[in-house]
Amino acid sequence: MPHTLCAITQEQKDRFDTEGYLIVKGLFEPRHIEELERTFEAIGHRTIPGHFEPDLREGVADPLKRYPRVMHPHRFDETAKAYMLHGPVMDVLRDLYGEEPLAAQSMFYYKPPGSRGQALHQDNFYLKVEPGNCIAAWTAVDDADEENGGLLVVPRTNGFDIVCPDEADANESFTTHYVKPPKDRKAVPAVMDKGDVLFFNGNLIHGSYRNKSKDRFRRAFICHYANASAVKIGAFYRPLFRADGTEVMLEANPDGGPCGVEYEAAYPH
């Protein structure tokens, strides 16, 4: 029986299938965003080994040393887990997949003023969802635009194969990998208001600008999902979770790893 769309229109579904991404406005209400802000403001003053390891000393030159990304906050914080399984997001994912989604990863990016972006890349290079694909749900906790380091997407690269990445420019990207877009495809900004969610296919080439603003963070709550019919995923992402919070253990795909390897981890000083 074909899946009946409930959360998005057929036009939105067609746009996602064609372009590889879709922005859904206001999926997080102001009260949801405020709760995320409070949660990650509190986390931002702690050290959580393996998840969030900031340099809390005064005068740290690289803003991403003070505010690195938070990896898998759903594994230690119930609010993060609840919003990884946010009902309106799961409803859209159900429509995009045509089947039940499984939550695989959560992340929080603070992206303070002056911080580097993330070079263009493809997410399923890391998640290795088989068969099927991952979908990202990228929630704007602050307004995101070209000045403060909003996301860049390369439309219609969702049908391209996953490629072996080149090395990124360490002056502009905090991660090491770079996927060069085809000559006939251009990266475009995904301008978003806080509370909007950008969904994109795991093969879509995407990345972000440096935050060029003087005083604007570009915080984002980013989660990755797999289709329920998937059999394998990278071990880094297990266990996965159904919408009701119960665990699912897919077979470990031997490849894959975190979404982007940071320069300091790849080339420690």
Give the CATH number for residue 225: 2.60.120.620
**15 domain residue, yes or no:** yes
Parts of the chain with a pLDDT under 70: 1, 257-269
In 3D space, the residue among 138, 92, 121, 261 whose CA is nearest the CA of residue 204 turns out to be 121
Distance CA 167, CA 85 (A): 34
Domain of residue 243 covers 10-266
**Tally of domains within the chain:** 1
Chain-centroid distance of CA 140 in Å reads 11
Amino acid 259: pLDDT? 63
**180 domain residue, yes or no:** yes
Amino acid 177: pLDDT? 93
Six-digit token pair at 45?
A: 């003053």
Amino acid 265: pLDDT? 46
Amino acid 28: pLDDT? 98
Amino acid 255: pLDDT? 75
**1 domain residue, yes or no:** no
Six-digit token pair at 13?
A: 């579904």
DSSP label at 1?
A: -
In 3D space, the residue among 68, 145, 134, 142 whose CA is nearest the CA of residue 107 turns out to be 68
Amino acid 266: pLDDT? 40
